[in-house]
Chain A
Amino acid sequence: MLRPAITALLMMTTSTAAAGDSIIVQSTTSTANSGLYAHLLPMFEAETGITVNVVAVGTGQAIRNARNCDGDVLLVHAKSAEEDFVADGRGVERFDLMYNDFIFVGPPEDPAKIKGNSPTDALAKVEAAKALFASRGDDSGTHKKERALWREAKIDPSDASGTWYRETGSGMGATLNVATGMGAYTMTDRATWISFGNKRDFEIIVEGDETLFNQYGVILVNPETCPSVKAAPAQAFIDWLLSPAGQAAIAAYSRQGQQLFFPNAVKQDQNG
């Protein structure tokens, strides 16, 4: 019964989101550096003729840029910050898009002997051993998660900043370069790690704990607060990402035989 309404709705979006449009996505770095966009965007662009321009920065900066209306879509991984963004009226609605997980990587000697530990036990041992730990220190989604794990372990590493706790203030890739360069542990999302080219002899040391879950979300920047937002093509992109076709495309992306992102958009309610 609803089909005519949906078709009408679809026709509306296709008629307003025209080929030749271009949108800006403010994005976290992991989705860009892992090559996910290079895999997804040609499919979407071939289907719709809409050009998607990706600005890949840390989640914190992506949200700040979107607050300044410098983007049409926000695609990041820090759920509470995303929810604040929507609650403040800067975004229309937040959708779960996909997930993967965070891991700790480190030198194979594992100086603090944390292999196989839970994340919080591992951090406690790192602190006790004063083993080198490279932190993003840049208010990114990964950094927020790392700080939350330290809090859970009831440790404030800030006091040790500059000694064994090294805040790079840089992106994930730059931080991994620092970590492999100085033999420090660091926390990274799995997608960036798998596609990272300068691993040296580093290994995954801690993984598989449910606290290391990494959820990505996608939000349309609110056209009411930001009149410059190209709502129709931006919404078309979000709809495609959340559609069965977009979700299948995300699931199909792999590097070195490993799937990097696991789609988990909630099936869109046909009434909504």
Chain B
Amino acid sequence: MHEFTEAFRLAFALVLAGDADLIEIVGLSLRVSLTAIAVACFIGLPLGAWLAIARFKGRGAVLVVVNALMGLPPVVVGLLVYLSLSRAGPLGSFGLLYTPTAMIIAQTILIAPIIAALSRQVIEDLHAEYDEQFRSMGLSRREAIAALLWDGRTALITVALAGFGRAIAEVGAVIIVGGNIDHLTRVMTTAIALETSKGDLPLALALGLILLVIALTVNALAMSLRRKSHSFAHG
């Protein structure tokens, strides 16, 4: 399988040469997926915490729905966002289709349920532990949510990483709403799909290796952040 050795050689050559096109698509991949994860956390964390401590009729059904949405197929999200942002669609007048913004919207929809569902679980466990204490302190629900989110932050970083992993790796949604346009909406995954369809399998695999290294780096950074926040909490 000379494709594998060729892929490693190519990956190193591309990185060492500081290939301008590569830097551009890596930059856009990170910009799109990190923005999506930030927006998804902004929506998903409070929602997850609220679901963890609120008690209302039909809560069980809502939890099932949120959990099920974790399995949203990217291509379906892409299609829904395409139909909404298309010039013929309800939001067409904004002219967002085939822009990085459209890609951020699609990935946010894809990962917000993951953040909400997983953080709900984390917060619910914490809440069971602290409920009495919060009661005796007379905290409002809003204050309790803030305290729980802060206390669960190390576990919630892992939740955010799960969402980021899903976003940076998906191709189905961004290729539909972004269009894989060179120098505009081409990201790592759509570039890999393109090179595969050109039959340039070593280059496709090389890009895949680089994507893997990027994911590793982001996870390593998050891990060191976790350690810092941990020592901060206990130091």
Interface, chain A (partner B; CB < 8 A): 24, 29, 33, 38, 53-56, 65, 67-70, 171-174, 176-177, 195-199, 226, 228
Contacts and interface: CB of A to CB of B under 8 A. Distances in A.
15 contacts: A24-B98, A38-B182, A53-B182, A55-B179, A56-B180, A65-B86, A68-B86, A68-B88, A70-B97, A177-B196, A177-B197, A177-B199, A197-B200, A198-B200, A228-B92
B89 interface: yes
B179 A196 contact: no
B87 A68 contact: yes
Given A65-B86, A70-B86, A176-B199, 17 more contacts: A24-B179, A33-B194, A33-B197, A54-B181, A68-B88, A68-B89, A69-B86, A70-B97, A173-B198, A173-B199, A177-B196, A177-B197, A195-B198, A197-B198, A198-B200, A198-B201, A199-B199
A198 B179 CA distance: 24
Contacts of B180: 55-56
B86 A196 contact: no
Contacts of A171: 197
A154 to B, nearest CB: 32
B181 A70 contact: no
Contacts of B184: 53
B27 interface: no
Given A54-B181, A56-B180, A174 B197 contact: yes
Given A24-B98, A55-B181, A228 B198 contact: no
7 smallest CB-CB distances across A and B, nearest first, come from A173-B197, A198-B199, A69-B87, A197-B199, A55-B179, A68-B88, A197-B200
Contacts of B89: 68
Contact of B196 (A70, A173, A199): A173
Interface of B: 86-89, 92, 95, 97-98, 179-182, 184, 194, 196-201
Contacts of B201: 197-198
A53 B186 CA distance: 11
Contacts of B97: 70
Contacts of B198: 33, 173, 195-197
B199 A69 contact: no
A29 to B, nearest CB: 7
A67 B180 CA distance: 20
Among A56, A67, A172, chain B packs the most CB atoms within 10 A around the CB of A56
Given A68-B88, A173-B196, A228 B95 contact: yes
B20 to A, nearest CB: 14
Contacts of B194: 33
A199 B95 CA distance: 40
B189 to A, nearest CB: 15
A195 B195 CA distance: 12
Contacts of A197: 198-201
A179 B86 CA distance: 34
Given A54-B182, A55-B179, A70 B197 contact: no
A81 to B, nearest CB: 18
Contacts of B87: 68-70, 226, 228
A1 B49 CA distance: 78
Nearest to B184: A53
Contacts of A56: 180
Best-surrounded residue of B86, B182, B194, B199 (most CB of chain A within 10 A) = B199
